[in-house]
Structure 1
Amino acid sequence: MNENQTEGPAEQTIRGVLVTVTHQVRDVEIPTADTLSGLYEVIGAEMVEKVSLPCDPALDMWCDEEGLLAWPAFRNPVAEYIASYWFTHPTDDQAIALDPEDLPIYVGDVVFLGSRSGEIADVPEGFASVRQAAEVIAASLRGEIRTAS
């Protein structure tokens, strides 16, 4: 493809961030032509659920709708950290008071995507700082970071 050509609709993708139960955080691309099937494949689920994060309307988390029914059900502590951050750190003056014990449990791999005017979009640039923190937590859970004792 030369610099004057553009991607056709079937080639366009939406960029997101996958967070796995094995504590991996990585970029993913999902085809815009069939976003739902792309989410099923990336997450490894037959049904997905959109979790709107109230402190940032430009960010959604997509997870396995039936994850808690799986056996064994593997919690995703990195996704839980990211979701709890967005539930408890408002991006505007609206304060949300949540007890950490009241935060939801997430099971299985999840994908973070953007939301723009009700449509799925690329993950927002503002997610970068939270992603960096999530990568540190993931590395710690994988045993790659040890604390001094």
Structure 2
Amino acid sequence: MRRFLCHLWPSFTGWTGSVVFLEPPLKATLSSLPVCCLTVAFNFIEPVIIQLTRRYCLLLWLGWAILTVFLGLWRLVGKTTFRAKSYVFQSMLGVGVSTVFTGVQVPMQASVAHVDDTGLAVGTLIVIRLFGALEGLSMGSTVFNSDF
């Protein structure tokens, strides 16, 4: 369920610009560019940190803490909020999500009984993530096509 809910956040970052700040679609897409760039960057940085330190638990807890705190702060964004504040909340939310998504694969692969089961575990994780993304996009498009 956690993974399913985490896949909803990228679609919400683009909708913040169009709903809260009443931006046109292209400008709302450009508003979500910082979060996308930081998410991709931390998807590369975190495995390097895990490789150098050989520890992943602290990174997972830190990722969940960042994700929780900045999701709560991002909820406070309104029409009168400065754009920079909204971009910082979104970007740090992306850092938390990318840290959790990348770091979860290490303990999952380490916990399989046989080495041959690693591919099955990764495949199952990817299927669950793709299903969550599909559900998030379908729910979001339904809401925004009927309300706006």
* TM-score (normalised: structure 1): 0.30
Q: Answer 1 or 2: higher relative contact order, Cα 8 Å, separation at least 6.
A: 2
Considering fraction of residues, name the structure with more helix. 2
Considering fraction of residues, name the structure with more strand. 1
* TM-score (normalised: structure 2): 0.31
